[in-house]
Amino acid sequence: MEGLPHDDSVSMPSVPKLDENSPLRTMMASFDEAAELLGLGQQEYLVLRKPDREISIAVPVRLDDGSFRVFDGYRVQHNMGLGPFLGPVRLAADLELEELRALAAWMTWKCAVLGLPFGGAAGGIAVDRNQLSRGELERVVRRWTASLLGDIGGDRDVLAPEFANEQDIMAWALDTVSMHERSTANPAVTGKPEALGGSAGYSDAVAEGLRVILRLAAARQGYDPANLSVLIQGAGTVGGNLARILHAEGHRVVGLSDVHAALYAPDGLDVPELLAHRAASGHLPRSFAGARAVDPAEFLELPCQVLAPCAVANAITGRNAERIQAGLVLEGAHGPTTPAADTVLARRGIPVIPDILVNGGNVIVSYFEWVQNRTGFKWLEEVVDQRLRRMLREAWEAVLEVEQTHGCSLRMAANVLALKRVADADRVRGIYA
Amino acid sequence: MSNGSAGEDAHHSPDGTPPSKAWLDEINPFLSMEKGFNTAADLLQIQGGVRDVLRMPDRELTVNVPVLMRDGSVRVFTGYRVQHNTLRGPAKGGIRFAPDVNLQEVRALAAWMTWKCSVVNVPFGGGKGGVICDVREMNTLELERLTRAYTVAILDILGPDRDVPAPDMNTNEQTMAWIMDTYSMHARRTTTAVVTGKPLNIGGSKGRSEATGRGVTISANEALKMAGLRPEDSRVVVQGAGNVGGLGALLMHREGYRVVSISDMYGFLYNPKGLDMPAVRAHQRAHGNRLEGFAGGDYQGTQEGARVEQLELECEVLVPAAAGEQITSRNAEQIRARVIVEGANGPTTGIASDILDARGIIVVPDILANAGGVTVSYFEWVQDRMGYFWTEEIVNSRLEQVMVQSFAAVRATAEKYGVSLRTGAYILAIDRVASVYRMRGFSA
């Protein structure tokens, strides 16, 4: 139309193109090797290297002072061959589409390894929640949800929390979907409060999953599965809960650390006392009776049977991998071992139980929550635990089978298994239209 | 659940003269079905409009779908979907691809599904679909395009709560995966429960491919109790060595039966001491699925009348699990079994049924004996609806429970009315549908 000026300043925010250095590309690099091992055709594999769909939305919100701001919101849906999408909602000031692409693909592989009928998704809002009032945060979450109503739902794309303590956010999302649909839409959102259809066992799910795989892996290693010495980095929802569960079972938690302190006791720490201290003060004590305070930089290198990095990415690197004294590494955190460290640990014969297999307990319980919501029947905590154990054992056995077939690392075996399951589903479904 | 087409030899008189009208009527499976229905409806004193409600299909849809062929031409294929009755739940029934598909046949098979679902008390009505095509002339891409085009054409009447198709003649897991994908993409939501018989990785059920054979075995166990026999004392003759007959024979062997004969379309094996069924199955796998050449039994190739001869072998249990119209007025007098378990659809003609009844041979009718398949289809639908999948042990134990209960209900009905198990099964099935009709009434 004549007279409409072309003005770049009011155009939509630009969507970054996929480039070779993006987090998605880096993550997928390890799957290129898996695809080669599988002999997956170039065309089949290329489909999996791109997300099915990416949605960018503007999220305008009225602030308490009467002004309004527009936040950037996203949802990336990676692959739906195995079923509806499932993935977290991430709230972070520096959130970028790139990282969500990688996370969405990661969710596809994780669901596939664990045998869940879901594809992967990831979404979020670029917002610093500490600068918002609770009311403002609620409006942000509701508007983001409302903008995605055509794309989410129990059979389309299921929302999950990034952290177990985000029940209020999930409750707002569920309420928004339900009010729009004029019916209770429980299966559309997981990680909800139990009063709104949440599942028993959700808050401990990651730690519980770690414990289950640890038992299987320790038995395979020839350790006495009833008396292990375990060094845990991280004392929060994952590491702290794992320490509590293992201590209660009679294992020795020989080391525990957080950003504030690192403690070591070869005969085992008094975990309940330590966690009580942390609950009261917000961090572990710098000194503690019967334990030795150690340099956090050397913490991972202390003697133990099992090392469980449950805090940050890239904890075990090419620099410290040679000095690790553990016989087994259990990846409670996301990506705690760098590829260089992987190589060193493999050469030294120290098995690494990969994150994709071992830290998805929360994803499994999200799945259980979805099942319970679909049937309208709530499972007892024992039932949740029993079924969680069964699914993890089946995933573990399937990964071991691939490991033996291909003679590769457990991480590569898990990647191969994931890729194969997704590619098989895509193949039988074929290409629509 | 493929209804084996009538064996070629069944259509012609042994001496080559043109078949008589009476013979053609006898081997018409739909007339047999009608006969079962009429006998039962008379005993239930269902007459007039209600009888018509139960007889006539709710809905028949004919579609003509264009498909782009590999040479660039466009061909229009004709397909059907018939929903016979949906009083007890969504319609359920297979989709077949065959050159001789016709509305008359699809209609009858849909009705058959209504009674079968009712006998085993799964919450479905009956449906059936088909497309006139010759799969041998089509490549995979053409079959995929045809499947998707047909699915789109009947999409409005499909759905987990409306009509749930399944595999049938010349359709398989792959066909069901295409239907599931087409429906899901149209609905813009994953809808696994719209079709059953899917591959395991997109919502299929464990134990489904063996379900019909397993159901046949369970039916045989129950029938033996009626006859006062034990598996250890029972010789079995099985016609058909595929998914139903072969697997049924293997399971019966495991339960202690002595399987003395099994046949495929080329001939049959016989060993009066009993065949080693696991070895027979292994032989089949290694020899292009054929029985010929198996060392642990005498093999006789199919010549004129060979099939009939196998059916007349002395045994306690006869399992016709291959094709329709195998036991007819021509051989029913020569059958030397105490119990017949109908693994195939319609292996016994109406006249042969009367003869067998008069001779006191217990016949477990097809709508009960081979309903294991639709029962596990039902389990698949349940699992898809909740999104949670059962272990194979759970599937098998629930199948056993359904089959045993259904057998007991059929037997009790037959005893109450003083009729055969076949008539008892029809009475039970029709009465269940009729009582739902009385409760639901007319919607408008």
Chain segment A212-222, per-residue pLDDT in tens: 999 999 999 99
In which region does residue A17 sit, left (phi positive, over 0), alpha (psi from -120 to 50) or beta (all else)?
beta
Please give the structure tokens belonging to residue B132. Answer: 């006139």
A208 closest CA partner among A392, A366, A411, A336: A392
**What confidence tier does B16 reach under pLDDT thresholds 50, 70, 90?**
low
A51-61 residues labelled b (16+ CB within 10 A) or e (exposed): bbbbbebebeb
Residues in chain A with CB shorter than 8 Å from the CB of B388 are: 371, 375
Judge whether B378 lies within some domain: no
Is the CB of A432 less than 8 angstroms away from the CB of B188?
Answer: no
**What confidence tier does B444 reach under pLDDT thresholds 50, 70, 90?**
low
CATH number for the domain spanning A264: value is 3.40.50.720
> Looking at the partner chain, which of A117, A424, A430 has a beta carbon nearest the beta carbon of B181?
A430
> Looking at the partner chain, which of B177, B191, B387 has a beta carbon nearest the beta carbon of A429?
B177
> Looking at the partner chain, which of A371, A429, A432 has a beta carbon nearest the beta carbon of B202?
A429
Residues in chain A with CB shorter than 8 Å from the CB of B174 are: 428
A171 with A249, same domain? no
A62 with A145, same domain? yes
Higher-confidence position of A126 and B29: A126
**Mean pLDDT, range B352-360, rounded to an integer:** 95
Judge whether A334 lies within some domain: yes
Q: What is the pLDDT of residues B67-114, one digit of tens each?
A: 999 999 999 999 999 999 999 999 999 999 999 999 988 998 999 999
A239 with A121, same domain? no
Q: How far is it, in rounded angstroms, from Cα B127 to Cα A225?
A: 55
A136 with A224, same domain? no
A167 with A213, same domain? no
Judge whether A399 lies within some domain: no
Mutate to test the interface with A, among B67, B173, B175, B388 (most CBs of A within 10 A): B388
Is the CB of B203 less than 8 angstroms away from the CB of A117?
Answer: yes
Is the CB of A374 less than 8 angstroms away from the CB of B387?
Answer: yes
Judge whether A381 lies within some domain: no
Q: How far is it, in rounded angstroms, from Cα B136 to Cα B142?
A: 11
Q: How far is it, in rounded angstroms, from Cα A112 to Cα A92?
A: 27
> Looking at the partner chain, which of A156, A424, A430 has a beta carbon nearest the beta carbon of B178?
A430
Judge whether B409 lies within some domain: no
* Residue A90 neighbours by CB distance under 10 Å: 19
CATH number for the domain spanning A106: value is 3.40.50.10860
What's the confidence (pLDDT) of residue A69? 95
**CA–CA distances in Å: residue B343 to residues B211, B220, B239:** 11, 10, 9
Is the CB of A371 less than 8 angstroms away from the CB of B178?
Answer: no
A66 with A126, same domain? yes
Is the CB of A432 less than 8 angstroms away from the CB of B385?
Answer: no
- Going by C-beta distance under 8 Å and a sequence separation of 6 or more, which residues neighbour residue A208? A201, A241, A245, A361, A385, A388
Please give the structure tokens belonging to residue B326. Answer: 């195998």
What's the confidence (pLDDT) of residue A32? 84
**What confidence tier does B10 reach under pLDDT thresholds 50, 70, 90?**
very low
What's the confidence (pLDDT) of residue A1? 38
Q: Is A127 helix (H, G, I), strand (E, B) or coil?
A: coil
What percent of chain B is predicted at pLDDT more than 70? Answer: 94
**Mean pLDDT, range B426-443, rounded to an integer:** 90
Residues in chain B with CB shorter than 8 Å from the CB of A424 are: 201
Judge whether B274 lies within some domain: yes
Lowest mean pLDDT among A39-53, A126-140, A293-307: A39-53
Kindly identify which residue of chain A lies nearest to residue B382, measuring between CA atoms.
A375
- Going by C-beta distance under 8 Å and a sequence separation of 6 or more, which residues neighbour residue B38? none
A91 closest CA partner among A27, A163, A157, A151: A163
B264 with B322, same domain? yes
Task: Work out the widest C-alpha separation in chain B, in whole angstroms.
Answer: 66
What's the confidence (pLDDT) of residue A359? 94
Is the CB of B202 less than 8 angstroms away from the CB of A155?
Answer: no
> Looking at the partner chain, which of B178, B190, B386 has a beta carbon nearest the beta carbon of A84?
B190
Is pLDDT at A8 greater than 50 in this prediction?
no
A180 with A265, same domain? no
Where are any strands of DSSP class E within A267-305?
292-293
Kindly identify which residue of chain B lies nearest to residue A372, measuring between CA atoms.
B386
B266 with B292, same domain? yes
Which of B133, B162, B191 finishes a domain? Answer: B191
B47 with B62, same domain? no
Burial class of A13 by CB neighbour count within 10 A (0 to 12, 13 to 18, 19+): exposed
Burial class of A382 by CB neighbour count within 10 A (0 to 12, 13 to 18, 19+): exposed
CATH number for the domain spanning B316: value is 3.40.50.720
Is the CB of B177 less than 8 angstroms away from the CB of A430?
Answer: yes
Range of the domain at B20: 1-55+209-370+420-437
Which of A302, A321, A353 finishes a domain? Answer: A353
Judge whether B444 lies within some domain: no
A147 with A246, same domain? no
Judge whether A221 lies within some domain: yes
**Mean pLDDT, range A127-134, rounded to an integer:** 95
Residues in chain B with CB shorter than 8 Å from the CB of A367 are: 387
Task: Identify any residues that bridge with A161 across adjacent strands, giving them in sequence order.
Answer: A89
Residues in chain B with CB shorter than 8 Å from the CB of A428 are: 173-174, 177, 199, 201-202
Is the CB of B177 less than 8 angstroms away from the CB of A370?
Answer: no
Rg, Å, chain B Cα set: 21
* Residue A365 neighbours by CB distance under 10 Å: 30
Which of B134, B162, B191 finishes a domain? Answer: B191
Q: How many domains does chain B have?
A: 2
Contact B279, B259 (CB under 8 A): no
Q: How far is it, in rounded angstroms, from Cα A107 to Cα B15?
A: 69
Mutate to test the interface with B, among A151, A181, A428 (most CBs of B within 10 A): A428
Higher-confidence position of B33 and B291: B291
Residues in chain B with CB shorter than 8 Å from the CB of A430 are: 144, 177-178, 181
Is the CB of B181 less than 8 angstroms away from the CB of A421?
Answer: no
Judge whether B29 lies within some domain: yes
B153 with B240, same domain? no
Is the CB of B190 less than 8 angstroms away from the CB of A425?
Answer: no
Judge whether B38 lies within some domain: yes
Q: Distance (Å) from the C-alpha of residue B422 to the closest C-alpha of chain A?
A: 37
Range of the domain at A73: 51-186
B73 with B161, same domain? yes
Which of A325, A353, A381 finishes a domain? Answer: A353
B430 with B295, same domain? yes
Residues in chain B with CB shorter than 8 Å from the CB of A153 are: 189
- Going by C-beta distance under 8 Å and a sequence separation of 6 or more, which residues neighbour residue B157? B59, B61, B81, B83, B163
A322 with A231, same domain? yes
Q: Is B136 helix (H, G, I), strand (E, B) or coil?
A: helix
Size of interface A-B (CB pairs under 8 A): 59
Q: How many domains does chain A have?
A: 2
Is the CB of A425 less than 8 angstroms away from the CB of B202?
Answer: yes
Q: How far is it, in rounded angstroms, from Cα B434 to Cα B52?
A: 11
Judge whether B101 lies within some domain: yes
Q: What is the pLDDT of residues A320-366, one digit of tens each?
A: 999 999 999 999 999 899 889 999 999 999 999 999 999 999 999 99
Which of A298, A327, A353 finishes a domain? Answer: A353
Catalytic machinery residues of B: 128
Going by the DSSP 8-state scheme, the letter that residue B317 receives in this structure is: E
Judge whether B414 lies within some domain: no
A168 with A293, same domain? no
Residues in chain B with CB shorter than 8 Å from the CB of A82 are: 201-202
* Residue A381 neighbours by CB distance under 10 Å: 11
Kindly identify which residue of chain B lies nearest to residue A376, measuring between CA atoms.
B386
B43 with B62, same domain? no
Q: Is B274 helix (H, G, I), strand (E, B) or coil?
A: coil
A85 with A172, same domain? yes
Is the CB of A371 less than 8 angstroms away from the CB of B177?
Answer: no
What's the confidence (pLDDT) of residue B304? 59
Is pLDDT at A17 greater than 60 in this prediction?
no
**CA–CA distances in Å: residue B396 to residues A38, B8, B211, B399:** 33, 35, 8, 5
Is pLDDT at B132 greater than 70 in this prediction?
yes
Is pLDDT at B323 greater than 90 in this prediction?
no
> Looking at the partner chain, which of B177, B185, B387 has a beta carbon nearest the beta carbon of A370?
B387
Is pLDDT at B405 greater than 60 in this prediction?
yes
Is the CB of B387 less than 8 angstroms away from the CB of A371?
Answer: yes
CATH number for the domain spanning B99: value is 3.40.50.10860
A234 closest CA partner among A225, A249, A244: A244
* Number of helical (H) and strand (E) elements in chain B, helices listed first: 15, 12
Give me the residue label for tokens 């029934």: B93
A64 with A145, same domain? yes
What percent of chain B is predicted at pLDDT more than 90? Answer: 82
Is the CB of A117 less than 8 angstroms away from the CB of B192?
Answer: yes
What percent of chain A is predicted at pLDDT more than 70? Answer: 95
Is pLDDT at A5 greater than 70 in this prediction?
no
One-letter amino acid for residue B109 of the chain = L
Judge whether A132 lies within some domain: yes
Is pLDDT at B171 greater than 50 in this prediction?
yes
Is pLDDT at B11 greater than 60 in this prediction?
no
Q: Distance (Å) from the C-alpha of residue B205 to the closest C-alpha of chain A?
A: 13
What's the confidence (pLDDT) of residue B15? 59
> Looking at the partner chain, which of A80, A371, A430 has a beta carbon nearest the beta carbon of B144?
A430
Is pLDDT at B28 greater than 90 in this prediction?
no
Which of B164, B191, B218 finishes a domain? Answer: B191
B247 with B102, same domain? no
Numbered residues of chain B with Cβ closer than 8 Å to any chain A Cβ: 144, 148, 173-174, 177-178, 180-182, 185, 188-192, 199, 201-203, 385-389
Kindly identify which residue of chain B lies nearest to residue A152, measuring between CA atoms.
B189
In which region does residue A152 sit, left (phi positive, over 0), alpha (psi from -120 to 50) or beta (all else)?
beta
B214 with B311, same domain? yes
Q: What is the mean pLDDT of chain A?
A: 91
Judge whether A103 lies within some domain: yes
Burial class of A66 by CB neighbour count within 10 A (0 to 12, 13 to 18, 19+): exposed
